[in-house]
Chain A
C-alpha cells in the first residue's frame, strides 16, 4: 500500500478548492488567474492518475477509502472512496478540467477571478459526487456542483445568460429537493447515510415497499433530469448553446449517469426493475429523438446537445437493461463520450471564437484555411459516430449487443438505427462547416489551432485511438467495480446489521448475472 493512498482522495478534493482560494486572493492581472487555474487543474489531474496507478484490480470493495465521523447527529461521515465504477470517472473529471481552462483561455475576458475560482470549486464538487459514499455528503457535493454552474451561466452566458441560467436552475434545483427529502427519509428510517449499509437495509426488506418506491422515484427523477433523459432535456440545448464552454462540457451526462448506476440501480434494484421497461423505452425514444433533432438544428451547439441526448440515451439503455456486461459497457461509454465530447467542445469553441458565430449555415469550406482544426474535428466525429478501432465503438457495440442478446431485440434494433442517424448528422455538420466552397465567413483571416489547443487535442486523439484498440486497459478495472446490487433479504440478513464502518462490506454477495436478467425479464413476481 502506497503511503499516499489514504489521503489521495482528500488531496484531489482540496487542491481545486485551494486553487480557487488562491485565484480569489491574488489580483486579477493579465492571465494570472488562467495560469493558476491551469496549473491547479493539471496538478489535480496528476493526482487523479495516482488512483489507476495504485488501484488493485480484482480486489472487491472500495479503495483509497476514508471514513471519518464528521457530525455526530445526524450521523454524517466524511466517507469517500472509489471502486472500478467511479475511479475512471474521477480521472476523466481531472482530464477535462485543463481542457475547460484552455477552452476558456481567450473566451473569458472579464472578471477572470470569479470565473476561474468558481470553475475550480465546481471541480471539487464533481470529484465529490464521484467519491462520496455517505449520502448526505453526496447530496452536498451534488448541490455544490449546481451553484457555480448557474452563477457562471448567468454571468458569462454567450447569448442570453440569465434566462438560460433560470431555466437551468428550475430544471436542476427543483428535482434535487425531493432527492433531499428522500435521503432524509432513508436516514430517519435507518439511522444511516452510509451507502453500503443502506444497500443492505433496503435489500433486507424492512422498509415499507410503498414508500420505498416513492423514494426510488425521487432519486431517479433528480438523476434523469441531470443526465438528461427524454423528455426532461429542456435545459440541455440552451445550456450547451449559452453556457461558457468549460461549463457546458461538464454539465451533462456523466454525473447523472453515474448516479443512476450507483444510487438508483445500486440502492433500489427492485424498484429499478419495475421502472426498467419505461426507462428503456424512454432511453430508446431519446436516442432516436435526439438524433433526429440533431439533424434539424441550425446551431452547432444545439446539434451537439441533441447528439449528446442521443448518446446518453444509449447509456441509460445499458443501465436499465440490468445486465452486468451492459453496465460495463455503460461505464466505458461514459468515459469515451467524455473524452470525445471534450475534444468536440474545444474544437467548436475554437471555431466560434475565431469566426464569432455558431450558426452552421454561415460556415463552409473552412478546411482549406484551418486544416488542423478540420483534421481533429474529423477524428472526433469518427469517434463520435462509433467507427471501429476508435473509442465509442467498444461501448456502443457492448451495449447494443448485450441489449440485443439479453434484454430486448426490438429495442436494440431501434437503438441501432442511431448508427445511421449519428453518421448523418455528424458528417453533414462536417460537410457544412469544413467542406464545399469557401463562404464569405471562411475568407476571414483566422488562426489554425494554437500550441495550447494542439497540446490538448493531440493526446485526446491518441486516447480515442487507444480506447478503441485496447479497451481492456480500462475494462478490467471497471469490471471489478461493477456488480449486481443485493436484491434479496438473504444477502443482507446473513450479515446482521453492519456497524458504522463499512470496511470490506463494500461489495455484496455476487448475484448471478443470469438470475438478475431473468428477474429483469420476468418482473418482480418471480422473486416474491
Chain B
C-alpha cells in the first residue's frame, strides 16, 4: 500500500556527496562542487518531506514506525548480532525535518560564507559527511547504529572545528571536542554493554517490548543503564560536567557552529534520551539526575554567557544553557516539550549563528562585540532577522521560543516541590538569558561603531535567504502549540502527562515568564544603551566575581590541573622513567646479564665485515635447504632418516 520510503537513501546521498567532493573536489570546478554539496542535502530533505507528506496533509501518511533493514547483517559473530536497520517514527521524522531542512539552509548559506576559502570543496565534503552521520543517528533502529552516528558526528565536528588547521587554537579545539566527546562515549559504550547483557539485544523496539513485558521492573540496573547513557548525552550535548568543549568549538567556521554546535548535533543527547524514554521512565532516580543536570547547566552556562565579549562565545554559552532546558524537560518526563524546544531552538539558534556570521562577515572577521556597534542601519536584513531570533530565545510572546520554553517550565512546575525548585532555576535562567541576549543585541547593533577600519556591508543573497526563512520560522515555529505537538509525538515518546494544575496557573506562569524576560530586556537596555558606562563601574566594584565569571569559573584550568597534567606527568615521569626504564628495563638487563655469554658471541658475530655476513647468510641458507630437502629425497628412495636412537 505504502510507496517505499527509501529511508536508506537519506543518509547515503550525503555520503555520496562526501565521497565525490572529498575525493575529486580539488579537481572539480567550483559550481559543480557547490551543486554536489547542495543537491545531496536537498535530495535528502525531499525524501524526508515525502515521508512526512501525511503529516503536512498531502496523500496518505505512511504507517509508523516504518522499518527498513539492510539484508546483510553488520556484525554477526557468536552471540552478537547487529543489523543496519533504519526506523522512521514520529520522533525521528520531526528530527529529520529539522536536520535536513535546517541543514540544507546552512549549506546554502555556506556557499556565500565560504566562497573565497581555498578549502571550499573540503568544507562541503565534511558538511555532507556530517549530514550522513546525523541522519544515521536519527534513523538508527538499534543502539549500536545510533552509536555509529553518534561517534560519526563527533568526527565531522572534529574535522570542521579544526577546518582551519593551521591555526593552533582551531586544531586544539577540534582535538579537545573529540576527546571530551570520547569521555561521554565511554559512558555510552558501557550503557550499550549493560543493555546487551540485560536484554540480549540492542534493537530499540525489542528492548522496549521486553520492558513492557515486565511492568514491575524499575530502578536497579535500569538506573545504571540510564546514567551511563546520560554520561554519553552530557558529552555530546555539552552539559555539566562535559560542556567544556563547546565554547572552544567556535573556532570552526560560523555556519558549522550554526549547524553542528547549535541546531543539530548537540541536540543528539536530548534525542537519545527521548528515543530511550522507555528506559528513563522506569528510573525516577535517573530522571531526577537528568533534570538537575539540565537545570544546573542552564543556569551555570547563562551566567558565563553574561561576561563574554566574543559574539560567538556568547551564543555558545547560550546554546549550552538552552540545551540545559531541554534536559530539564526530559528529566521531568516531558519529552515532547523537550523535542518541541529542540525544534524551535534549532530555528532561532541557527538563525542567531548565521546572523552572527553575517555580522562577522560584514566586519571582516571581527568577532569582538566591543569593536562593533551601530550595525542596525548598515545590515538591515541581518538586524531584523536577528531581532526575531533574540525575541524567540528570550521567550517573548508570540515568538517560537515562548511556546516551547513555557511548556518545559510548566512541566517542571507540576513535579512537586523539587520540580518547583527546578522551575525557579529555569525562571532565573530566563532572566539571565534575556539579559545576555539583549546585551549582545545592543552591543552589536546599537550605539556608535567602535571600530574605525571596518566597512560593513550586507551579505549576498545566498546568505540572506536562509536568514529570512529561519526568521519566519523563529516567529511562527511555535504556533503549532505544545498540545498538538505533544499529541503528535505521543506514539513515539508516550503521552504528555495530564496537567494536574488548573488552566489559570498555566496562564499566570506564562505571563510571569514573559515578564521576567522583559525585565531582563529592561536591565540590558539600562546598562548597555542608556548608561553604557555602568557595566564597567559594576565590574570595578566587584572584580573578584567578574574575573571568576569572565574566566568561566576557571573550569578549564581546573580540569587541566586535576586530570590532564597529572595524567601526562604521571605517564612521563612515573611510568616512563620509573616503571619502564628503571624497573622493567633494569630487570630485563639483570636477567640479560645471565646471558652475557650469548651477547659476547653476538658481538663477535657483528664484526661489521660484509663478506662474513654474506658467508653466514649463504651457509645458513644452504643448511636450511639441505635440512629441508634431503629427507624428502631420501624418502622417495625408501630411506628414512633416524636422528634419535630409538
Contacts and interface: CB of A to CB of B under 8 A. Distances in A.
Interface in B522-542: none
Interface string B565-591: 001101110011001100011001000
A472 B595 contact: no
Contacts of B455: none
Contacts of A144: 624
A329 B568 contact: no
B643 A74 contact: yes
A106 interface: no
B451 interface: no
B388 interface: no
B642 interface: yes
Contacts of B631: 70-71
B79 interface: yes
A57 interface: no
19 contacts: A70-B632, A72-B640, A73-B644, A289-B579, A292-B570, A292-B571, A293-B576, A325-B79, A325-B80, A365-B166, A389-B152, A400-B193, A404-B190, A420-B179, A423-B178, A427-B158, A437-B166, A472-B73, A479-B77
A286 to B, nearest CB: 12
Given A296-B572, A405-B196, A431-B175, A416 B76 contact: no
Contacts of B571: 292-293, 295-296
Given A389-B148, A435-B171, A292 B567 contact: yes
Contact of B165 (A20, A413, A435): A435
Contacts of B568: 295-296
Contacts of A404: 190, 193-194, 196-197
Interface stretch (B107-115, B181-189, B205-213, B348-356): B181-189
B75 interface: yes
B602 A166 contact: yes
Contact of B642 (A73, A174, A398, A424): A73
Best-surrounded residue of B78, B172, B182 (most CB of chain A within 10 A): B78
B78 A74 contact: no
A111 B610 contact: yes
Contacts of B16: none
Contacts of A387: 151-152, 155
B491 interface: no
B144 interface: yes
Contact of A427 (B179, B185, B588): B179
A147 B182 contact: no
Contacts of B27: none
A73 to B, nearest CB: 4
B186 A416 contact: yes
B599 interface: yes
Nearest to A14: B628
Interface of B: 72-80, 144, 147-148, 151-152, 155, 158, 162, 165-168, 171-172, 174-175, 178-179, 182-183, 185-186, 189-190, 192-194, 196-197, 567-568, 570-572, 575-576, 579-580, 584-585, 588, 592, 595, 598-599, 602-603, 606, 610, 613-614, 617-618, 620-621, 624, 631-632, 635, 640-644, 646
Contact of A170 (B167, B193, B599): B599
A405 B200 CA distance: 9
Interface stretch (A113-121, A197-205, A267-275): A113-121
A332 B599 CA distance: 38
Contact of A325 (B78, B151, B579): B78
A368 B162 CA distance: 13
B165 to A, nearest CB: 4
A413 B197 CA distance: 14
A86 to B, nearest CB: 17
B178 A427 contact: yes
Interface in A101-151: 111, 114, 117-118, 121, 144, 147, 151
B75 A154 contact: no
A73 B631 CA distance: 11
A424 B571 CA distance: 13
A437 B168 CA distance: 7
A470 interface: yes
B281 to A, nearest CB: 24
A325 B77 contact: yes
A497 interface: no
Contacts, number: 198
A398 B77 contact: yes
A234 B576 contact: no
Contacts of A323: 78
A234 B644 contact: no
B376 to A, nearest CB: 38
Interface residues of A, number: 85
A72 B632 CA distance: 11
A69 interface: yes
Given A296-B576, A387-B151, A117 B183 contact: no
B148 A328 contact: no
Nearest to B155: A387
A170 B179 CA distance: 39
Contacts of B603: 162, 166
A471 to B, nearest CB: 6
A388 interface: yes
Contacts of A431: 162, 171-172, 174-175
Contacts of B567: 292, 295
Contacts of B617: 24, 114, 117-118, 151
A419 B80 contact: no
Contacts of A166: 599, 602-603
> Top 8 closest A-B pairs, CB basis?
A325-B78, A435-B171, A72-B640, A296-B571, A404-B193, A296-B572, A388-B148, A405-B197
A397 interface: yes
A324 interface: yes
B225 to A, nearest CB: 13
B508 to A, nearest CB: 48
A170 B196 contact: no
B79 to A, nearest CB: 5
Contacts of A326: 78
B641 A234 contact: no
Contacts of A397: 75, 144
B190 A162 contact: no
Given A144-B624, A296-B571, 12 more contacts: A73-B640, A167-B592, A170-B598, A234-B585, A387-B155, A398-B78, A400-B193, A402-B80, A427-B179, A431-B174, A435-B171, A471-B75
Interface in A32-81: 69-74, 78
Contact of B614 (A114, A167, A328, A478): A114
A395 to B, nearest CB: 10
Contacts of A289: 575, 579
A326 B78 CA distance: 8
A436 interface: yes
A500 interface: no
A325 B579 CA distance: 34
Contacts of B194: 404
Contacts of B76: 472, 475
A510 B372 CA distance: 76
B190 A324 contact: no
Contacts of A471: 74-75, 77
A118 B183 CA distance: 45
A178 to B, nearest CB: 13
A155 B168 contact: no
A324 B603 CA distance: 46
